[in-house]
Structure 1
């Protein structure tokens, strides 16, 4: 079953269960068990061993302790503790009051979230978590549902970072392209030049960003998102379920009445500055002292940077809290509640890593990639085909970077033989498909962290984002068909925007008829 059509089944079962049951842990657990059974031909003992080994490998593998994974999990704990301090100190309350005097409209609060997503473009993990912590007090005051906040965060984190050459994603992609061009003796352009030229061909990322502004300005609400927003506006209920989601401690602590806005923004600024500085330092050290910005971000250690930034921000938040008079919450309770609030997010992330490993062993990505190399079709369809396969691969495996690593080499191999004129459009289609799949799957790190940053139930974020992701994907997919036949990026982008406009207007007209 490894490397065959059966390798897709665990991912499909997981996705169907998520949508039908809305129980993420059950769905992920089922996918893990089915995948392990497939790997070992339904031998129960070997299956159990596989599950245990996959879990242990998160923390310790044949190469030693998995420091990166451990540091990311510890950062989530630190983030929970910092949020607890921000709530207990009254910083979140004061910041919300301070910002609401300056950003006075609901639309403005959403635009500020998007603007922060554009500004904090260095890394998707960093963006997902940081933007949520900054924006949440303001969007809560304007009764923006947490599901919509998560959508705004997720739809500006990955799309912005994948379009920026000076980001962890951009540096990673440029590094892959450099190696591929050297191996295939492609001399028409260098890796950085190619990446910049690919940007207009990344139709999904561009359309997804355009759609974000349409959602904000035109109040374009469809599917489950419409219910979440109506409930938030009419009842002031920002969450779809009663239980508290990760990162929300609004009912746990009584905010200190002496808290000021700086009790929130100073720890967050410390987190931002420290993390960015550490990303540069770790990248510089791993680049043997090279000062080239692309080399630095290609080698940066995001997880250790986040951990150091998180540690320092918690220390600063602690110091600020200790200086407050009339402290009601005890430090032990703050640390305990802050840690406990991140347990759901950490559990989902662990299960996502496990099923990602299972799917990797099943060689789901390799099977899908093989479909491309075996397909015999007109070259004009290649951009669309690679967009489709990259989407399915990212959706199934939960990793954009893994999809880049598998599909970009295949795209170069195929286009060198068939039609070099379509090389850049096809590479852009791979990047676009990987981001689209990443937006749809509940096992994507970025999707999980966007839910965490927004303080929303993970399943609520997944199901509310899906319709918008598919609208952007349909628009982009048709654009790739036109690019394949005309090789005109401007024409293809224009077609995608027109298709997007038609879909949006159609939904709005249907809504007006119902009203």
Structure 2
């Protein structure tokens, strides 16, 4: 048996994910997963493996030239821009904290947002409104909401769940987002490959979105969780501690994004709100500008949807981060007491993002190794020969979830599995094409939610300033419930052939589950 495209390709993600959950030591777990993957690719030779890992680490930051190219290569713009944005955000948050803006905003919000319920609903609404990109959503919503949720005794684990469940699920349903543009282009290619002319790529995307049962369920569940304060599994323990003032587990040290900065008196809410507003506006404008440039380079006319398809998300985030940090410095420069502490505060702010950057770099390394090992291709091959049409939506949902969980990437899962779903539908029942595409999207978002090595999961932890594995473990029961009702919906679609009945079944089962959880909460309340 060869290592690539075989069961052995599952070993690195299993090692990384299993150890992360068991030991809660994320860096060690990711490192061992990377080592196992590199050893498999290099035939178990230690020195060759070390050299290979060194070159892979360098390639994350610098693209080496081709063998026949005498040049020196070029910086790896995407990765460097994402890391630069994280550092800028860390510095900006530390400066806002130094100014007293975070405390002032918390005091201002406390007079208007008086309950835990209101704080959680505010976070959900912000997450739904900022739908441009999941990276941006996770970090921006976390930094705006954290002062309010901390004041109201909402745990950081709960905040991370609220952020994560209004990031990818919103972005995957919205056509005017980085996710939507990517998916519309993939779906358009599938329609063209099978000569389907009755629907445009955008029209098909909208229909597929209504069949993305997991994203819909996750959004409805997070709204119910915020409105009704539903706490499942380990979340109950974190919320009980938060009500006593311990919003995160201090025994495990400061989580990423928690700047150890002394707040000055005299801060104003605008010291927080104005930099965040500039960050949002600057990023949005940069997304449109880079998208327009991409369209122009292809000789295409400008359109909103086309701009989001061609945009450079990482560069746009970097531009927004620079504008946000510059605005923060401008607001603080007239305050001598604050200005005297700027160098130290900037350094501390950069340092708060170092744990998240370490995790992200290791996750990128592991994802690259998994791609070369063919983990996704091996998992996709498991569906070959399974041609019973009514089981295919369920099978594709499970396979998409497993692939995204093992590889840590929903986008990679989309790219591999959506064309396979199209081929399977063409070979069995073309009427099942859209439900099967919806099942792939749903499964990929589900697996991404559960995976400790997913970059969106990592950034949700960072935005909430929550310990990473605490977020992973506390989110699992919610993701599992969303997956179960989605499976029921896809089973109904397969058996009835009706997407509408499938959606209604999914929603009914979710409503029943929420009702049972509310009854359970009421029954346990006198004992609390």
Q: Provide the TM-score with structure 1 as the length reference.
A: 0.96
| 1:97 alignment partner in structure 2 | 107
Kindly state the Cα deviation for residue 501 of structure 1 after the two structures are TM-superposed: 3.8
| 2:62 alignment partner in structure 1 | 60
| 1:354 alignment partner in structure 2 | 365
| 1:444 alignment partner in structure 2 | 454
| 1:76 alignment partner in structure 2 | 86
Kindly state the Cα deviation for residue 50 of structure 1 after the two structures are TM-superposed: 2.3
Q: 2: distance between equivalents of 1:329 and 1:156?
A: 39
Q: 1: distance between equivalents of 2:94 and 2:15?
A: 37
Asked whether the equivalents of residues 41 and 373 of structure 2 are also in contact (C-alpha less than 8 Å), the reply is yes
Counterpart selection for 1:261 from 269, 273, 296: 269
Q: 2: distance between equivalents of 1:348 and 1:375?
A: 38
Asked whether the equivalents of residues 259 and 324 of structure 1 are also in contact (C-alpha less than 8 Å), the reply is no
Counterpart selection for 1:219 from 219, 222, 229: 229
Distance 1:328 1:312, change over 3 A: closer
Matches within 5 A, 1:161-200: 161-200=171-210
Kindly indicate whether residue 432 of structure 2 is the aligned counterpart of residue 412 of structure 1.
Answer: no
**Which has the larger displacement, 343-352 or 287-296?**
287-296
Asked whether the equivalents of residues 32 and 358 of structure 1 are also in contact (C-alpha less than 8 Å), the reply is yes
| 1:313 alignment partner in structure 2 | 324
Matches within 5 A, 1:58-457: 58-62=60-64, 64-233=74-243, 235-242=244-251, 243-249=253-259, 252-288=260-296, 290-327=301-338, 330-372=341-383, 374-457=384-467
Distance 1:9 1:504, change over 3 A: farther
Any unmatched runs of 5+ in structure 2? 66-73
Kindly state the Cα deviation for residue 506 of structure 1 after the two structures are TM-superposed: 4.8
Counterpart selection for 1:30 from 23, 29, 32: 32
Kindly state the Cα deviation for residue 131 of structure 1 after the two structures are TM-superposed: 0.6
Asked whether the equivalents of residues 382 and 484 of structure 1 are also in contact (C-alpha less than 8 Å), the reply is yes
Q: 1: distance between equivalents of 2:134 and 2:266?
A: 34
Counterpart selection for 1:20 from 19, 22, 26: 22
Kindly state the Cα deviation for residue 18 of structure 1 after the two structures are TM-superposed: 1.3
Kindly state the Cα deviation for residue 179 of structure 1 after the two structures are TM-superposed: 1.9
Q: Once superposed, which parts of structure 1, at least 4 consecutive aligned residues long, lie more than 3 Å away?
A: 501-515
Kindly state the Cα deviation for residue 218 of structure 1 after the two structures are TM-superposed: 2.5
Distance 1:176 1:377, change over 3 A: closer
Q: Provide the TM-score with structure 2 as the length reference.
A: 0.94
- Summarize deviations over 1:276-309 as a string: whole Å, max 9, x none: 0000000010011622111100011111111111
Q: 2: distance between equivalents of 1:510 and 1:322?
A: 53
Kindly state the Cα deviation for residue 497 of structure 1 after the two structures are TM-superposed: 2.5
Asked whether the equivalents of residues 158 and 239 of structure 2 are also in contact (C-alpha less than 8 Å), the reply is yes
| 2:69 alignment partner in structure 1 | none
| 1:497 alignment partner in structure 2 | 507
Kindly indicate whether residue 481 of structure 2 is the aligned counterpart of residue 480 of structure 1.
Answer: no
Q: 2: distance between equivalents of 1:509 and 1:257?
A: 45
Kindly state the Cα deviation for residue 513 of structure 1 after the two structures are TM-superposed: 6.4
| 1:8 alignment partner in structure 2 | 10
Q: 2: distance between equivalents of 1:395 and 1:231?
A: 29
Kindly state the Cα deviation for residue 327 of structure 1 after the two structures are TM-superposed: 2.6
Secondary structure in 2 aligned to 1:101? helix
**Which has the larger displacement, 283-292 or 498-507?**
498-507
Any unmatched runs of 5+ in structure 1? none
Kindly state the Cα deviation for residue 329 of structure 1 after the two structures are TM-superposed: 5.4
Secondary structure in 2 aligned to 1:257? coil
Kindly state the Cα deviation for residue 457 of structure 1 after the two structures are TM-superposed: 1.0
Kindly state the Cα deviation for residue 499 of structure 1 after the two structures are TM-superposed: 2.9
- Summarize deviations over 1:325-379 as a string: whole Å, max 9, x none: 533752210111001110000000000000000100110001111111x233411
Kindly state the Cα deviation for residue 76 of structure 1 after the two structures are TM-superposed: 0.6
